[in-house]
Structure 1
Amino acid sequence: MAESSGIKFLKYYLQKLKLFFLSKDILSFLLFLALSAGFWFVHSLGKEHEIVISVPIKFVGLPMNYAITNNPPTEISINLKDQGLRLFTYTAKHNSPLTIDLRQNFHHKGEILITSDKLTTRIAKYLHLQPTTIVSEVHPDSLLIRYEKLVSAKLPVKLNAKIELSHQYMLSNKIQLSPDSVMIFGTKKAVEKLKSIPTELLTINNLSDTTHLQVQLKPVNHVRLSSESIKVSIFVEPFTERKVQVPITALNCPENLSIRTFPAFVNSTYIVGLSKFNTLSPSDIQVYLDYNELKNAKTSKGVLKIRNNSLNISNIRILPVEVEFILEQK
């Protein structure tokens, strides 16, 4: 019963509060308060104010074989004075940087000084300053850019990749890079340290089809590259297993001697792409004994060696791996 009375009491006062805020007196008060705030804000905007904005800087126009060697600022701080309403036009976020083209001032002296007056003029054009706006301070008030001529070199590109082929697939050709070399520009010390330009890591899993893609070159400190990326072509096809008989040959044997083996042929098994299945040349696989390893042997058995002369086959296996031999006078 007491709980019911409490609820009725709460509803009563909530209703009174609602009627109070909806009454003409309170609405008039709120309207007057809003108008007063508006008049104060407009009056405030009419007075002179000062703001500070930061503007990013971008330097362009140096020839490819020149580079900035000091560390000029990447942004400048600008103090502006004007009526508050006009300053609103400058407070917007500047997404594009203040671009400073160095071509007009470029010479072989090695440095460019952009004085305070020149910098202020560039800022005025960049911000589209109104006649009433005053640039009271710029920090830094001038810019010094030092640069030097770079040496150049042509270096090969080195692919940095982890490529996993799908089951029963193989590379059908050598991975191609285009271009396979790039021009670099840098200080003599920086260029002499480099032997190649690596790519960013390329990771591919379960590759089962020929693929062409762009791969970024890895940036090198204080060195410019003539290209930021290269085209990588990876040629893939299914493979199968093939068996052939291969003759045993002798290497480094004197002219007055010959090596006879028992047997004279071995059975060879290898993996080959389907497109190259019937293109094997007799010289692609060489199975041999080396006379230099046999001449002082204390046994009449020799371990066979394999030489793969083709990019199209892999995983060569032979039986037997060891044969008997005799040296004969011719």
Structure 2
Amino acid sequence: MIQKIKKGLKKRKVKVFFVFFLCSALIWFINKLSRTYVSGAHFDLEFVNMPEGYLFEKASKTEVDVKLRAGGFQFLRFNFINKRVYVDLSELPTNGESFYATPDTYRRQIENQLPNTMALLEIDNDTLFFQMLAVKTKKVPVKPNVELDLVKNYLLDGKMTVIPDSISITGPAEEIDSIDFVKSDKIVLPDLAAGFSKKVDLLQSPELENTTYSTYQVNIKGEIARFSEKIFKLPIKKVNFPEGAQVRTFPEMASVLCKAKMKRLKDIEESDFQVIVDYNSIKSSNKDVIPLKLNKKPEEVHSAKLLENEVEFIIKREE
């Protein structure tokens, strides 16, 4: 029994010893971190805000060595964060061929990004040189690449809408001068019987490695409506024939196939169309046929087309 008590006391002393040891070590560690230290470090440089009309290519160096003064706690935290600082290139001086940033210029920028408890004592004394590529900007339209598979008796009502319908592209003249439009990625929309709205990426050629787009995605919309069709038989009007000439066509009526939404189609009348034959189109020819022309058609229809392209005719002149 006495032996068990002795062993228990011994274990308790060991535990107490470790508690005091850990507390002492923690106090020592905190005391050390509370002091001010001077230490070397290096920052990775990231370049932002390119000068207008230029594209960044490369810099003479992408990291810089520094000497810092800060508290131990600050250094401890500093070792766990990304040591990256930004260099603003928007107002760089130039010697006419290249852009550069003096040590004073980027030192001030780095100091502004450090916490108030950290001081920058020394920095590399190297001027940073930058290679820039002269670029220009132009506006080009966006062409949608959409394959529609519509349900029977349904058609695209009007044109597809692209938002935005044009974008700005920025790049070297040799890359963008030949670009007249930008195409969207192809999308296939099967079994459509209702309107659609799709976000689509824009295609960019691998050859445009130094060209950027103002946006890389557009929204393509389209309205789908149910359509019907009707054939209208219309008289043929003769124009520009010699005065007094009697003209007869074979046949004397023309057929026009009109496609429109069902409600609209009910309101369309023959008087909304006009089919003509123009003497000026054949007066220098000896043919006995004359082309038909749909000279007038109603608004808000999907399509209206002649089923015959030409008719035979005879002219009888007064003697």
* Same fold at TM > 0.5: yes
Matches within 5 A, 1:96-135: 98-103=86-91, 105-106=92-93, 109-128=96-115, 130=117, 134-135=121-122
Give the match's secondary structure for 2:57: coil
String of CA shifts for 1:194-249, please: whole Å, max 9, x gaps.
121334556666462375x7766556543355x42787563414213222234597
CA contact (8 A) 2:202 2:217 kept: yes
Give the match's secondary structure for 2:260: strand
Aligned to 2:58: 71
Aligned to 2:143: 158
CA distance in 2, matches of 1:232, 1:131: 48
The reply to whether residue 144 of structure 1 matches residue 132 of structure 2 is no
Q: Aligned-pair RMSD on alpha carbons?
A: 5.4
CA contact (8 A) 2:140 2:168 kept: yes
Aligned to 1:4: none
Give the match's secondary structure for 2:73: helix
CA contact (8 A) 1:271 1:316 kept: no
Which consecutive residues of structure 2, in runs of 5 or more, have no partner in the other structure?
A: none
Counterpart amino acid of residue 171 in structure 1: L
CA distance in 1, matches of 2:107, 2:74: 19
After TM superposition, the score normalised by the length of structure 2 is: 0.61
Aligned to 1:209: 195
CA contact (8 A) 1:53 1:91 kept: no
Counterpart amino acid of residue 209 in structure 1: G
Change (3 A) 1:84 1:131: closer
CA distance in 1, matches of 2:306, 2:201: 39
The reply to whether residue 173 of structure 1 matches residue 150 of structure 2 is no
CA contact (8 A) 1:90 1:127 kept: no
After TM superposition, the score normalised by the length of structure 1 is: 0.60
Aligned to 1:244: 231
CA contact (8 A) 1:119 1:142 kept: no
CA distance in 2, matches of 1:99, 1:221: 24
Give the match's secondary structure for 1:157: strand
The reply to whether residue 195 of structure 1 matches residue 180 of structure 2 is yes
Matches within 5 A, 1:174-323: 174-177=159-162, 180-199=165-184, 206=192, 208-209=194-195, 211=197, 221-225=209-213, 227-228=214-215, 232=219, 234-246=221-233, 260-261=249-250, 264-266=253-255, 268=257, 271-274=259-262, 276-277=264-265, 278-279=267-268, 281-282=272-273, 312-313=301-302
Give the match's secondary structure for 1:102: coil
- Offset at residue 189 of structure 1 (A): 0.9
Give the match's secondary structure for 1:57: strand
The reply to whether residue 60 of structure 1 matches residue 46 of structure 2 is no
CA distance in 1, matches of 2:177, 2:95: 23
Matches within 5 A, 1:7-26: 23-26=11-14
Give the match's secondary structure for 1:71: strand
- Offset at residue 276 of structure 1 (A): 3.6
CA contact (8 A) 1:61 1:102 kept: yes
* Percent of aligned positions that are identical: 13
